[in-house]
Chains A and B, each alone.
Chain A
Amino acid sequence: MALYLSKSGKHLPNLKQKFGLLRRINNNLSSCSWSCCFHHQNQPSLSPIPIGIIPTLFSFRRFESSKPDKHLGSLHNHGGGHPQVLNFPGGKVKFTPDLKFLSDYPDERVHCYRVLDGSGQTVGSNFVQIEKDVALKMYKDMVTLQTMDTIFYEAQRQGRISFYVTATGEEAINIASAAALTIDDLVFPQYREAGVLLWRGFTLQEFAHQCFGNKYDNGKGRQMPAHYGSNKHNYFTVASTVATQIPHAVGAAYSLKMDGRDACTITYFGDGGTSTGDFHAAMNFAAVMEVPVILLCRNNGWAISTPVSDQFRSDGVVVKGQAYGVRSIRVDGNDALAVFSAVHFARKMAISESQPVLIEALTYRAGHHSTSDDSSKYRPIEEIEWWKEAQNPVARFRKWLEGQGWWAPTSESELREYARHEVLQAIQVAEKVDKPDLAQLFTDVYDVPPSNLIDQEKSLRESVERHPHEYSH
């Protein structure tokens, strides 16, 4: 590691000038401020950090740690004869005569950042104050997402669409994370983040068109329902492949960094996605390449029927951050204010210091994996019901809004009625629209249609003309 760093080290001054991403260089850092806040051999639990201090503490540290080590080849520390330390490739390491293994599991799990308690009361003061209009939009979008999920799910059950995935139980993660970003931040979703697209302005009608795969689908009927994508909203098209979006987000973050943009990328994935090779490679690369990416893991306890206890044996996903040299935080995913604050600061760090940040949002997948799943087959219904009711993120946020005096009970029924009406309307309209034209079978394979596809389209059209009864429309 030190060898690699020393070679890149001579280019670092260039990097700093070229990209100008560092906003604050704090020269008064003591070397122990780094270690006291992170895992030590003997202190596996992470001490909570007052949030306001973070930018000061760490804004310069990143580059300082990657400067070339001047005593690369020397066996001893400066000041002659410290046989306790050796400058291995990768840096100085202290020796110990104790034969001690690091524990496989901490005595205490990493604490979870939470701002709103179950009754909608705020705890502590370490969170970003949200303006009333932002908070109201957040709530309305959470309710709309809930409503959309319920009704589209029903539509699939009625056979009107072929497939659907809900984000039930994860409305706070969806909406609050989106609210803490700007439209310039690129989103690399998995498939349970329709709420992020909703926040950014994708309409219910557009969602419906995609699910019905009709001619107004901006995806041109190419993909299964819920595989949304919109360049206009900086939301990259959902792909079915698990966790492939994570290295994509890192690569795009690299592009952003080369561009010197005041923006980051964010990518979402589940607990299951962290088992893939792509997660590992992306985390590692993001740290080595120093790119502005937020990696948000929706740890909802289940990967289809695989519980997290069968997925990994670590203390969840947050601890994996340090394994890659990535700053991380665990947050209550059902707490909209906590998610908002965590993403807000993660974004600041990612952009100003050009580094990745891992957020583990603990939550529960209150719905089935998809319409192809019946989760009551592998988990108790009481468990599902408990999370749906007691830990409902929408209800919790509403209680807080009511406490602020920003939301009245009458507004609730009005909103729900309105959302329901809009969703039903969107479905009814989308259902009647024709499917995409034949031409859409052949476009976008390449930038310019190749001659063989032009020929094939021609011969297909001739066939349709000759046998119209065989081709319904």
Chain B
Amino acid sequence: MLGIIRQRAASKVSHASSLEQGIRTLRAFSSSAKQMTVRDALNSALDEEMSADPKVFVMGEEVGEYQGAYKITKGLLDKYGPERVIDTPITEAGFAGIGVGAAYYGLRPVIEFMTFNFSMQAIDHIINSAAKSNYMSAGQISVPIVFRGPNGAAAGVGAQHSQCYAAWYASCPGLKVLAPYSSEDARGLLKAAIRDPDPVVFLENELLYGESFPVSAEVLDSSFCLPIGKAKIEREGKDVTITAFSKMVGYALQAAEILAKEGISAEVINLRSIRPLDRSTINTSVRKTNRLVTLEEGFPQHGVGAEICATVVEDSFEYLDAPVERISGADVPMPYAANLERMAVPQVEDIVRAAKRACYRSS
């Protein structure tokens, strides 16, 4: 598939866009890439997968009549009917369990949590009924289910609506955990998740839903799919590696721009897949730059950055020229007041400062 070829090539070729240019000129289409919001990317991916496979169905609160709490499932009820777009009563534990049961018998449910904070109500079904079932049943029960919804901080929604669950879910064997950033990520990874025979936790971001990204023709193709377990090098660099996922990828890219003006070339890795983690890409990058900054929005202790740091220390210790810098959210439940909230999540300046520290350049 072109999408995958481009992905593999990108990690070898010096810059992905030159290949993309090449592909574009080969086709007879116009050379200006289309813009697509992440919301539309997710909606179109759901639509196409539901169209291609009658076993795929969507279930969650407000997904039908309301068109989705964040309009991700807009238009699906009208197109596919209430048997395939199911509005549920308020019980995450209930509909997650029911989704798992439907998957046990062969349907492919896409369960929406209004936010992943509410998934805590259903976490027993996600872990004990979905993640572990294939193993516990010795391969007799496969659970091709996708749990998706917004994850992490939004804006002014307080402690119970702002937690990032990447680290919790990614620690569990049997689950796959994906975190898209761009519209291309959203389309490719959601399609991959729906087609995957294993249970997948798909962590979106509310603030990214409205953001537009360029999408090429092959991304728009209904067969487009991204591989699970491969990170993407969003920006090549040689002085310091910055790993990030979801919204933080955008922040890292902004920081890289600022760093470039100060003569520091930062390589930004969009993880895309938290479990399985693309340790190979991360280590290859660190062996090139010799410095690492991990970036995430979630709580610092036992976070994704801790795992990345450990893997680099285990595999590429001799290559490190500086201690690993971890940037994360503050170790407090998310406050509401805008100024406090701003201080509780990483900002671009934090990333710039950390990168400079890693390069032994005090700011």
Chain A contacts to B: CB under 8 angstroms = 4, 7-8, 11, 14-15, 18, 186, 188, 217-220, 222-223, 227, 229-231, 236-237, 239, 241, 244, 246-256, 258, 277-278, 280-282, 284-285, 288-289, 440, 443-447, 450-452
User: B83-141: which residues lie under 8 A (CB-CB) from chain A?
Assistant: 83, 86-89, 91, 93-107, 109, 124-125, 128-129, 133-141
Q: How many whole Å from A250's CB to the nearest CB in chain B?
A: 5
Are A255 and B89 touching (Cβ within 8 A)?
no
Are A445 and B173 touching (Cβ within 8 A)?
yes
Contacting residues, chain B, for A278 (C-beta < 8 A)? 93-94, 97
In-complex Cβ contact of A288 among B89, B93, B101, B136 (8 A): B89
- B210, CB-defined interface residue at 8 Å: no
Q: How many whole Å from A223's CB to the nearest CB in chain B?
A: 6
CA distance A250 to B103 in the complex (A): 11
Are B106 and A255 touching (Cβ within 8 A)?
yes
CA distance A216 to B141 in the complex (A): 18
**Given known A11-B81, A239-B136, contact A229–B141 (CB-CB < 8 A):** yes
**Given known A281-B91, A450-B276, contact A218–B138 (CB-CB < 8 A):** yes
The 11 listed contacts between A and B (C-beta, < 8 Å) are A7-B65, A217-B138, A227-B136, A236-B104, A251-B105, A253-B101, A254-B102, A258-B107, A281-B91, A284-B89, A447-B198
- B174, CB-defined interface residue at 8 Å: yes
User: B187-216: which residues lie under 8 A (CB-CB) from chain A?
Assistant: 196-198
Q: How many whole Å from B243's CB to the nearest CB in chain A?
A: 18
In-complex Cβ contact of A239 among B86, B128, B142 (8 A): B128
Contacting residues, chain A, for B98 (C-beta < 8 A)? 247-248, 250-251, 254, 281-282, 285, 289
In-complex Cβ contact of B94 among A7, A277, A450 (8 A): A277
In-complex Cβ contact of A186 among B94, B105, B125 (8 A): B105
**Given known A239-B129, A281-B93, contact A251–B141 (CB-CB < 8 A):** no
**Given known A7-B65, A223-B136, A446-B198, contact A285–B94 (CB-CB < 8 A):** yes
Are A236 and B129 touching (Cβ within 8 A)?
no
In-complex Cβ contact of A256 among B57, B103, B105 (8 A): B105
Q: Return the chain A residue nearest B94 by Cβ.
A: A281
In-complex Cβ contact of A248 among B88, B91, B97, B276 (8 A): B97
Are A255 and B134 touching (Cβ within 8 A)?
no
In-complex Cβ contact of A285 among B95, B124, B173, B196 (8 A): B95
**Given known A252-B101, A255-B106, contact A14–B81 (CB-CB < 8 A):** yes
Q: How many whole Å from A114's CB to the nearest CB in chain B?
A: 32
Contacting residues, chain A, for B173 (C-beta < 8 A)? 445
Contacting residues, chain B, for A447 (C-beta < 8 A)? 134, 142, 196-198
**Given known A229-B140, A447-B142, A450-B276, contact A188–B101 (CB-CB < 8 A):** yes
Q: Return the chain B residue nearest A11 by Cβ.
A: B82
Q: Return the chain B residue nearest A232 by Cβ.
A: B140
In-complex Cβ contact of B86 among A247, A289, A450, A451 (8 A): A289
Are A241 and B124 touching (Cβ within 8 A)?
yes
- B161, CB-defined interface residue at 8 Å: no
Known: A14-B81, A247-B95, A444-B139. 5 other contacts (CB 8 A): A4-B87, A282-B94, A289-B98, A450-B276, A451-B276
Q: How many whole Å from B155's CB to the nearest CB in chain A?
A: 31
CA distance A326 to B223 in the complex (A): 43
Are A255 and B107 touching (Cβ within 8 A)?
yes
Q: How many whole Å from A319's CB to the nearest CB in chain B?
A: 21
- B287, CB-defined interface residue at 8 Å: no
- B229, CB-defined interface residue at 8 Å: yes
- B148, CB-defined interface residue at 8 Å: no
Q: How many whole Å from B5's CB to the nearest CB in chain A?
A: 20
In-complex Cβ contact of A446 among B97, B124, B176 (8 A): B176
In-complex Cβ contact of B88 among A220, A258, A285, A444 (8 A): A285
Contacting residues, chain A, for B100 (C-beta < 8 A)? 247-248, 251
Are B124 and A255 touching (Cβ within 8 A)?
no
**Given known A244-B125, A285-B95, contact A229–B102 (CB-CB < 8 A):** no
Are B124 and A244 touching (Cβ within 8 A)?
yes
Contacting residues, chain A, for B99 (C-beta < 8 A)? 251
**Given known A14-B81, A223-B136, A284-B94, contact A450–B101 (CB-CB < 8 A):** no
Are A8 and B82 touching (Cβ within 8 A)?
yes
Are B83 and A15 touching (Cβ within 8 A)?
yes
Q: How many whole Å from A226's CB to the nearest CB in chain B?
A: 13
Q: How many whole Å from B86's CB to the nearest CB in chain A?
A: 7
0/1 per residue, B161-203, Cβ < 8 Å to A? 0000000000001101000000000000000000011100000
Are A222 and B135 touching (Cβ within 8 A)?
yes
CA distance A244 to B96 in the complex (A): 10
Contacting residues, chain B, for A217 (C-beta < 8 A)? 138
Contacting residues, chain B, for A249 (C-beta < 8 A)? 101
**Given known A7-B65, A258-B83, A281-B95, contact A231–B135 (CB-CB < 8 A):** no
Q: How many whole Å from B283's CB to the nearest CB in chain A?
A: 13
Are A443 and B137 touching (Cβ within 8 A)?
no
**Given known A222-B138, A285-B94, contact A252–B104 (CB-CB < 8 A):** yes
CA distance A106 to B304 in the complex (A): 56
Contacting residues, chain A, for B89 (C-beta < 8 A)? 281, 284-285, 288
Q: How many whole Å from B62's CB to the nearest CB in chain A?
A: 12
Contacting residues, chain A, for B103 (C-beta < 8 A)? 251
Q: Return the chain A residue nearest B88 by Cβ.
A: A285
Q: Return the chain A residue nearest B144 by Cβ.
A: A447
Contacting residues, chain A, for B87 (C-beta < 8 A)? 4
Contacting residues, chain A, for B124 (C-beta < 8 A)? 241, 244
CA distance A222 to B136 in the complex (A): 6
CA distance A195 to B57 in the complex (A): 35
Q: How many whole Å from A234's CB to the nearest CB in chain B?
A: 10
In-complex Cβ contact of A277 among B91, B133, B135, B142 (8 A): B91
Contacting residues, chain B, for A186 (C-beta < 8 A)? 105
Chain A CB within 10 A, most for which of B102, B124, B174: B102
Are B94 and A443 touching (Cβ within 8 A)?
no
Chain B CB within 10 A, most for which of A246, A446, A451: A446
User: B276-326: which residues lie under 8 A (CB-CB) from chain A?
Assistant: 276, 279
Are B104 and A445 touching (Cβ within 8 A)?
no
CA distance A247 to B89 in the complex (A): 13
**Given known A231-B140, A255-B107, A450-B276, contact A444–B102 (CB-CB < 8 A):** no
In-complex Cβ contact of A244 among B128, B142, B197 (8 A): B128
0/1 per residue, B148-167, Cβ < 8 Å to A? 00000000000000000000
CA distance A217 to B139 in the complex (A): 12
Contacting residues, chain B, for A227 (C-beta < 8 A)? 136
Are A445 and B134 touching (Cβ within 8 A)?
yes
Contacting residues, chain B, for A252 (C-beta < 8 A)? 101-102, 104-105
Q: Return the chain B residue nearest A289 by Cβ.
A: B86
Are B174 and A446 touching (Cβ within 8 A)?
yes
Q: Return the chain B residue nearest A453 by Cβ.
A: B173
5 cross-chain pairs, A with B, having the tightest CB-CB distances, nearest first: A281-B94, A251-B101, A247-B97, A248-B101, A251-B98
CA distance A172 to B93 in the complex (A): 32
CA distance A249 to B81 in the complex (A): 23
